[in-house]
Amino acid sequence: HTAYRRQRQMCIRDRNNTCSQKNRLDILREEIDKIDKELLPLFLKRMDLCSSVADYKRSVGKPVLDSEREKQVLKSKMDLLTDKSRENEVYEFFTAIMSISRDRQTRELSRDKGRKRIEDMLNPKPHIQNPRIVFYGVKGSYSEEAAIKYFGAESNRTNADSFEAAFLSLKNNKSDYAVLPIENSNTGTIVDVMDLLEKYGYFIIGEVDIPIRHCLMGVKGSKVSDIKYIYSHEQGIMQSSGFLKTLGNDIICREYYSTAKSAEKVANDNNPVQAAIAGKQNAEIYGLDILAEDINNSDKNTTRFIVVSVNSEIDVMCNKISAAFTLPHESGELHRVLACFAHGDLNLLKLESRPLDNKNFEYMFFVDYTGNLLDEKVRQITNNVIEGTGEFKLLGNYKIKE
């Protein structure tokens, strides 16, 4: 009985403590609600003033973003603080408010003719029936595999021996779509394709993932011990670096146009000291022996291919946006742009930079994020991003491949 009473008293005490904690939490929440009630009319008043600011900027032709003004405002808020340990919180608070203010002003000014907006970049065309496809590499390449997976085995396909040749095929109206590798799960972005997208201003209209299963292949009757020279695309060599190290230091790896083109070369040269790193299908196509299978560093190695067109193609199923932009070479500019995505609740999928030609330590940023530009909210958020950039290029709005 004594043990029972002790246990019961402990249960009562724990219940009272829990109730006490709940009551304290309720009190704290009530205090927060009171403060929010005081903040709301002040916030709405600030937004109304932002509309007046937008009217003034419209009358004098000023842009929404005034970087120097925002820096001065943020500095003045920091100067008011006596507790410097709270600077980050205050900075984030006012940065968020100014971002929302820019949203409001951008909406107010979006009707102005001649203002740079995402709507001006949208000129979607319908999907082409029975299209002509150009893919990078030769027959049997991973790019052709991607083209088949996206357009079907009966699609009208031709090949290009370089990335730029595929873009030129589009430019010269010899092809309707180009299929090109853009990113590998192990070795990252294929920067040459990214640069060409920005250079030509064409659009991504689709994507497809292809699992990569590299093999080492040589002429009939050759053995691994015979091999002295291995040919492949630089990506194939990088993705198989672990296996190549097991072959010793005497092996010479030579970069070639593509993995499939490397297999074709080895077949044409018919030299037992040569081998190629390529997909398994190339052994059958070019009559080669497979000397080693699945030699890539990771069994999850996957390459993402994009489908490129001269025109954009946007429909209600599109859920991914790719874009490129530059920023003023000033502190805080990238943070300001990223805040637009965060406050707009859009998922930022990827962000990377490439150096600008002839400009030291200045960059072109490439970004992928979720959304459909037929949605007014997504267009508005994108316009807010554009407002803070130096140059903005839409690279495509397309469907993530399942």
The residues assigned a catalytic role are 303, 305
Q: Closest Cα to residue 215, out of 331, 296, 315?
A: 296
Nearest 10 degrees: Cα torsion 157, 158, 162, 164: -80
| Start-to-end Cα distance in the chain | 65
CA separation, residue 313 to residues 125, 367, 395 (Å): 5, 19, 11
Run of H or E including 183: strand 177-184
Inter-residue contact 211 to 141 (CB < 8 Å): no
DSSP state of 198: H
User: Which residue is listed with tokens 């925002």?
Assistant: 70
**DSSP code string of 220-262:** TT--GGG--EEEE-HHHHHHTHHHHHTT-TT-EEEE-S-HHHH
Q: What are phi and psi of 293, to 5 degrees?
A: -105, 155
